[in-house]
Amino acid sequence: MKKVLAKIDHHRHPRPVDKAHGNLPSSDKLEKPDIEFQYKNATYVLDVTFAVEANICNAFRGKILKYGGTYGDNRVIPLVLRYNGTVYEKSMNLLTKYLPEITGLEGVGARQEGEAQGNAGSGGLGTTADN
């Protein structure tokens, strides 16, 4: 997350969501998203998750459902990564629209030993087509 946070343009006022920054959502049932940022005078959130191919669509929708009630469905950007480091196409579309400066990251989510669940990987933020 630090690598992603560092790539977001400082004019968007990116910040991690945590107690230290005083910006935890009000619901104690709601887990915190990873990063808040500004886009056209509105607060958006970016939340990163990893998913295997079979669960990738559900992981994307799940993040929108999880944070949509607090931030609004259209202001949630689920960054769903495969264990090989590639980004789910729907996530990449949102990144391109709202945070084009981070779409060139390399090595984000790159596979670590014991984590890949049978997926070979090269790292990076490349896209692959939707199922």
The pLDDT tens digits for 67-114 are 888 888 899 999 999 998 899 999 999 999 999 888 765 445 444 333
CA distances from 43 to 5, 53, 61, 104 (A): 15, 30, 19, 23
Report the domain count for the chain.
1
Strand pairing partners for 45? 36, 76
**Domain span at residue 12?**
2-128
- If you average pLDDT over residues 10-17, what whole number do you get? 90
How does pLDDT run across 15-61, given as a tens digit for each residue?
888 655 455 554 444 467 789 999 999 999 999 899 999 999 999 99
The per-residue pLDDT for 2 is 80
How far apart (Å, rounded) are the C-alpha atoms in residues 91 and 60?
8
Torsion sign, CA atoms 26, 30, 32, 33: negative
DSSP for residue 10: G
* pLDDT value for 3: 81
Do the bridges between strand 87-88 and strand 15-16 make them parallel or antiparallel, or are there none, so unpaired?
unpaired
CB 48 within 8 A of CB 66: no
